[in-house]
């Protein structure tokens, strides 16, 4: 299989099922941002982490590929026939959202209480985590926008919302793991 097909040279691409759309279509922008999020999760996973965090991030990457496939499939094409068998797009579920919630709860039990907003940074891996969280929020906003124009499976929105929460508490955990300091946002502090 060649990596280039030349079918997109005029600014169009195919959704799953063959529908042709412009490359700046909201659906393409949305799952393209999911792909960007997945690449950032990969960068985060490639840093020095404990084995549990690495394993969780790998699971998240797999779920993001599933979300990308869900978003690349227009609702009318969700059940495609391939010869005699049906291709059914794998989907994420409420159990996937609950998995993230369990991981958040596990991490939060080990964190000090938050008394202020926290400025992103303090260590390179913490910064990578916050950048990833921001990309996740952008993916969530685009998904909400897409859902207003073309209904999608709303569990995707829930998953992205919870993933952003997970990335925030992971950044706090990584701060502690790397003996960095959380810097509180003090808006009225005099210089």
Segment 27-85, tens digit of pLDDT:
888 999 999 999 999 999 999 989 999 999 999 999 999 999 898 877 666 554 454 45
pLDDT for res 22:
53
Whether 66 is covered by a domain: the verdict is: yes
Q: Is 23 helix (H, G, I), strand (E, B) or coil?
A: coil
Q: What is the pLDDT of residue 21?
A: 65
Whether 5 maps to a domain, the answer reads no
Total of domains in the chain = 1
Residue 37 lies in a domain: yes
Q: Are 103 and 12 in contact (CB under 8 A)?
A: no
Is residue 3 included in any domain, yes or no? no
Report field, pTM of the whole predicted structure over 0.75: yes
Residue 28 tokens, joined? 């393409």
Per-residue pLDDT of 108-165, as tens digits, reads 999 988 888 998 999 999 999 999 999 999 999 999 999 999 889 999 999 999 999 9
At 190 the pLDDT is: 64
Task: Look up residue 101 and give its two tokens.
Answer: 């919630």
The CATH code of the domain that includes 137 is 1.20.1200.10
**How many whole angstroms separate alpha carbon 11 and alpha carbon 28?**
12
In a domain, 82, yes or no: no
More confident position, 22 or 105: 105
Q: Which domain range does residue 61 map to?
A: 14-75+89-110+117-180
Distance between CA atoms of residues 73 and 71, nearest Å: 5
Residue 88 — very low, low, confident or very high, per pLDDT cuts 50/70/90? Answer: low
Residue 191 scores a pLDDT above 80:
no
């Amino acid at each position: 299989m060649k990596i280039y097909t030349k079918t997109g040279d005029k600014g169009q691409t195919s959704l799953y099922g063959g529908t042709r759309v412009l490359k700046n279509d909201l659906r393409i922008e949305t799952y393209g941002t999911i792909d960007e999020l997945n690449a950032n999760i990969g960068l985060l996973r490639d840093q020095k982490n404990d084995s549990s965090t690495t394993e969780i991030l790998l699971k998240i990457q797999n779920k993001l590929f599933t979300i990308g496939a869900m978003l690349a499939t227009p609702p009318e094409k969700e059940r495609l026939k391939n010869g005699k068998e049906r291709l059914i797009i794998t989907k994420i579920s409420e159990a996937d959202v609950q998995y993230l919630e369990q991981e958040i709860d596990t991490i939060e039990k080990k964190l000090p209480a938050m008394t202020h907003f926290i400025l992103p940074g303090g260590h390179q891996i913490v910064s990578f985590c916050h950048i990833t969280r921001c990309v996740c929020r952008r993916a969530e906003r685009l998904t909400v926008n897409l859902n207003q124009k073309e209904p999608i499976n709303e569990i995707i929105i829930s998953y992205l919302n919870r993933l952003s929460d997970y990335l925030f508490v992971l950044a706090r955990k990584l701060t502690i793991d790397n003996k960095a300091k959380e810097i509180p946002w003090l808006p009225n502090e005099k210089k």
